[in-house]
Amino acid sequence: MSKTNDKKLWSGRFKEETATILDEFNSSFNFDKRLYKEDIICSIAFAKTLAHCKIISSHESEEIIRGLNKILEEIETEPQAWFEKNKNEDIHSAVESRLINLIGDTGKKLHTGRSRNDQVITDLRFWLKEEVKLIISLLKELRGTFLNLARKHYDTIMPGYTHLQQAQPITLGHYLLCYEQKLHRDLERFFQTLERTDVLTLGSGALAGTSYPIDRKFLASELGFKNISENSIDAVSDRDFLLECLFNISLLNIHLSQWAEEMILWNTEEFKFISISDAYATGSSMMPQKKNPDIPELIRGKSGRLIGNLTGMLTILKGLPQAYNKDLQEDKELIFDSVDNIKIVLHISNEFLQNITFNKDKMYESVNRGFISATDVADYLTKKGVPFRIAHEVVGKIVAYCIERNRQFKDLSMSEWNSFHKLFGDDIIEKIKVESCINSRNIYGGTAPEEVIKAIQRAEKRAI
Ligand code: ARG
């Protein structure tokens, strides 16, 4: 960045001009200019409050507000040109300098009882509140898609995995509801963060509060803040809400990266549990046969930068003395990047999910290949009085016997079953069917279709 255009707002005690490199290093303008609207709105409310509290006259306040509205109009008409012409240390200084240019000395009254320390955090909270609301609505939509698909696949049978080894049969609906749950908790977290973001910090001054009788309640209601910060030192240094948001975003993306990993795997030649519609897949520049799952790969990959932003913010805050320190200026690029990325991730995840086809036949075929009903065979004996540990051992031997002979449970004759345990009866044939395994898991929260339907009903009723 070249030298800033206007005289510095704080140049009074300085004899020499600042070095160009200082200006470049110090400036946040290139990234915080996106807060221009929030800055102007908060300044308008502040000017109103100054008049309301008789700190400046109504006439002066109106003049300031007119000037600020004019600046807003200027920026919205020609943003690039405005930013180029009005480059400054940060957006707050740029707006204030332009105001003074526009309306003269009255503009110099706007900063009465205000510091950029309480101003920047007010702007940021004001901005983040709206962004969190957007994230919440995108998250709700994605959660809704998982729910819709669960409804459609409440009784679709597939293998369930632990250690990525076939473990027990499950319903696809149950699997989809697993993500509905994770996203539901994510939603709760964003709502909680919204509460803690919804705090007015203006009126805290640089750190100690202000001697002007600023009516903070009036200001809070003008800006639609629900709460007012309790401690001016905390107000200008607190970035917990931002950190929470970075954490919520990281965790949300971790959930989505887990799902993305499964979609990548299920899309392979080996699994073929899903097919991705052409509009949501990419090709290879070299291998003509390829159809690549770039979307879930990128969703998975985004975790790196999102966790990086969280770690970055945690590190900035570690050991910071109270109250405001310039280190805190580094908060913005991290939160901007995380918010921008999670919004697109949520959006594309939803579209991607709506555009995959679940290959039910392939899932069913795969679930019937191995020994996925082994637990049920052990449970069969246990329900006839055999202690579970013994039953487990017996079934382990049956599995080994089958593997050696390249056979499956369904291929065993009754006398073979009985050679392992006399309590096996004809009904074992029915018990080892995947449908029976699934239907029997009809406990609250279990995978049986009847339970999946109940879980969907509960999910539909949840307030959030
Ligand atoms: N650009 C600064 C930031 O983003 C604004 C606050 C500056 N305060 C100060 N005392 N230099 O944190």
The predicted-structure confidence for 445-464, as pLDDT tens digits, reads as follows 999 999 999 999 999 998 66
Specify the pLDDT at position 359: 98
Catalytic site residue 163? Answer: yes
Separation of alpha carbons 244 and 210, rounded Å: 29
Is 202 found in the same domain as 63?
no
* From 163, 211, 285, 413, the catalytic residue: 163
Q: How many domains does the chain have?
A: 3
The residue to mutate among 117, 332, 334, having the most atoms of ligand 1 within 8 angstroms of its beta carbon, is 117
Specify the pLDDT at position 407: 94
b (16+ CB within 10 A) / e for 129-163: bebbeebbebbeebbebbbebbbebbbbbbbbeee
Specify the pLDDT at position 462: 85
Separation of alpha carbons 336 and 98, rounded Å: 25
Specify the pLDDT at position 187: 98
The residue to mutate among 202, 329, 333, having the most atoms of ligand 1 within 8 angstroms of its beta carbon, is 329
| Cross-strand partners of 357 | 275
Residue 56 in domain: yes
Specify the pLDDT at position 6: 55
Q: Is the pLDDT of residue 2 over 60?
A: no
Lowest mean pLDDT among 12-16, 402-406, 421-425, 450-454: 12-16
Per-residue model confidence as pLDDT tens digits over 149-170: 999 999 999 999 999 999 999 9
CATH code (residue 307)? 1.20.200.10
What tokens appear for 186 in the block? 């994510």
CATH code (residue 35)? 1.10.275.10
29 within ligand 1 shell (Cβ under 6 A):
no
91 within ligand 1 shell (Cβ under 6 A):
no
328 within ligand 1 shell (Cβ under 6 A):
yes
Is 246 found in the same domain as 141?
yes
- Give distance in angstroms: CA of 26 to centre of ligand 1: 9
Residue 5 in domain: no
106 within ligand 1 shell (Cβ under 6 A):
no
Q: What pLDDT band is residue 370 in, cutting at 50, 70 and 90?
A: confident
Is 427 found in the same domain as 309?
no
122 within ligand 1 shell (Cβ under 6 A):
no
Residue 3 in domain: no
| Cross-strand partners of 274 | 358
Specify the pLDDT at position 1: 44
Specify the pLDDT at position 280: 85
Per-residue model confidence as pLDDT tens digits over 320-344: 999 999 999 999 999 999 999 999 9
The average confidence (pLDDT) of the chain is 95
The residue to mutate among 326, 327, 332, having the most atoms of ligand 1 within 8 angstroms of its beta carbon, is 326
- Give distance in angstroms: CA of 295 to centre of ligand 1: 38
Residue range of the domain that includes 88: 16-112
Altogether, the residues listed in the chain come to a count of 464
Q: What pLDDT band is residue 290 in, cutting at 50, 70 and 90?
A: confident
Catalytic site residue 373? Answer: no
Per-residue model confidence as pLDDT tens digits over 38-94: 999 999 999 999 999 999 999 999 999 999 999 999 999 999 999 999 999 999 999
Measured from the CA of 89, which atom of ligand 1 is nearest? 1
Give the CA distances from residue 339 to residues 86, 294, 307, in Å, rounded to whole numbers and listed in that order: 26, 21, 12
Separation of alpha carbons 447 and 160, rounded Å: 10
- Give distance in angstroms: CA of 61 to centre of ligand 1: 24
Is 370 found in the same domain as 277?
no
- Position with higher pLDDT, 118 vs 370: 118
CATH code (residue 391)? 1.10.40.30
Is 100 found in the same domain as 125?
no
Residue 326 in domain: yes
Is 339 found in the same domain as 440?
no
